């Protein structure tokens, strides 16, 4: 641009010359104008390139789409969907303790007289309810005669039986038992057919009476009057266990 101004200044300041001189001036002017147009074109191209670069940075590196075309959204992997873990079969709830209503009924108890002159045998009960139930610990047992409760001391010297405290679960219709050993009875004479066992399975349950199968038998032999009559009771078990 400064060259063009110098050229024009020279043309204005100098007197008009010959035709050859004028023609030379016109050619120089044309060359200078062409150079100026080329420089302007380069400047415009530089600005356009810079604009494209800036747009690329602004729009995440995606070039502009030609007119008439729509940009297809890029397919991004979907985040993993958290699937709940399979809970599987829920754990079974523990059975409820048996109630007197479930177990009370015409269940008999058989006693066998042993070599030690004691009576031994099981008290058997049956779950008459519709749900399984739990029998745990030792039941409280008292002996009933014709005239009331016999003077028999309940002891912890239980016969052979389970030693754990977990108890047993009996299904509807299933049976359970505790083993008894009755020793040294020195009270009034009584026939076993007139004796019953008052069974209380837990402090929160009422007691119920269980009868004896051998109505013709006799109580244990009186071995020593100075010692009380005793009754040992085992923990609950399944029949024959």
29 falls within a domain: yes
Are residues 110 and 218 located together in one domain of the fold?
A: yes
Are residues 17 and 131 located together in one domain of the fold?
A: no
153 falls within a domain: yes
| Per-residue pLDDT, 191 | 85
75 falls within a domain: no
Are residues 41 and 112 located together in one domain of the fold?
A: no
Are residues 102 and 53 located together in one domain of the fold?
A: no
pTM: 0.58
Are residues 120 and 16 located together in one domain of the fold?
A: no
Q: How confident is the model over 19-65, as pLDDT tens digits?
A: 665 566 566 656 655 666 655 555 555 545 455 554 444 444 444 45
How far apart, in whole angstroms, are the C-alpha atoms of residue 213 and residue 107? 9
146 falls within a domain: yes
Note whether 188 and 229 are within 8 A (CB): no
238 falls within a domain: no
Helix, strand, or coil (residue 19):
helix
How far apart, in whole angstroms, are the C-alpha atoms of residue 93 and residue 91? 6
Note whether 133 and 172 are within 8 A (CB): no
Are residues 110 and 40 located together in one domain of the fold?
A: no
Are residues 104 and 182 located together in one domain of the fold?
A: yes
Q: How confident is the model over 90-141, as pLDDT tens digits?
A: 677 889 999 999 998 765 677 776 667 888 888 899 999 999 999 998 899 9
Are residues 28 and 122 located together in one domain of the fold?
A: no
Structure tokens at 57: 């940075």
203 falls within a domain: yes
Are residues 127 and 227 located together in one domain of the fold?
A: yes
Structure tokens at 189: 């004479």
Are residues 27 and 113 located together in one domain of the fold?
A: no
Tokens 């420089």 correspond to 39
Are residues 32 and 105 located together in one domain of the fold?
A: no
How far apart, in whole angstroms, are the C-alpha atoms of residue 134 and residue 128? 13
Tell me the DSSP string of 108-139. EE--EE-TTS-EEEEEEEE--SSS-EEE-S--
Are residues 217 and 104 located together in one domain of the fold?
A: yes
Q: What is the CATH number of the domain that holds 116?
A: 2.60.40
88 backbone φψ class: left, alpha, beta (φ>0; ψ -120 to 50): left
84 falls within a domain: no
Range of the domain at 116: 96-233
User: What's the number of domains the chain is made of?
Assistant: 2
């Amino acid at each position: 641009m400064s060259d063009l101004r110098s050229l024009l200044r020279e043309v204005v300041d100098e007197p008009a010359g010959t035709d050859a001189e004028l023609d030379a001036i016109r050619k120089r002017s044309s060359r200078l104008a062409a150079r100026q147009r080329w420089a302007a074109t380069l400047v415009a191209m530089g600005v356009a390139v810079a604009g494209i670069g800036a747009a690329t940075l602004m729009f995440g590196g995606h070039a502009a789409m030609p007119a008439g075309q729509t940009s297809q959204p890029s397919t991004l992997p979907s985040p993993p969907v958290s699937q709940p873990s399979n809970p599987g079969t829920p754990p079974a709830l523990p059975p409820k303790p048996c109630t007197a209503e479930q177990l009370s009924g015409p269940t008999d108890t058989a006693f066998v007289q042993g070599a030690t002159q004691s009576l031994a045998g099981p008290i058997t009960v049956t779950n008459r309810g519709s749900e399984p139930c739990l029998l745990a610990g030792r039941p409280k047992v008292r002996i009933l005669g014709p005239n009331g409760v016999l003077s028999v001391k309940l002891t912890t010297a239980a016969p052979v039986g389970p030693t754990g405290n977990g108890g047993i679960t009996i299904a509807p219709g299933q049976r359970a038992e505790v083993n008894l050993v009755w020793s040294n009875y020195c009270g009034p004479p009584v026939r076993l057919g007139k004796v019953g066992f008052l069974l209380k399975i837990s402090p929160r349950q009422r007691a119920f009476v269980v009868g004896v199968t051998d109505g013709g038998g006799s109580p244990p032999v009186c071995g020593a009057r100075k010692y009380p009559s005793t009754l040992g009771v085992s923990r609950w078990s399944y029949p024959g266990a």
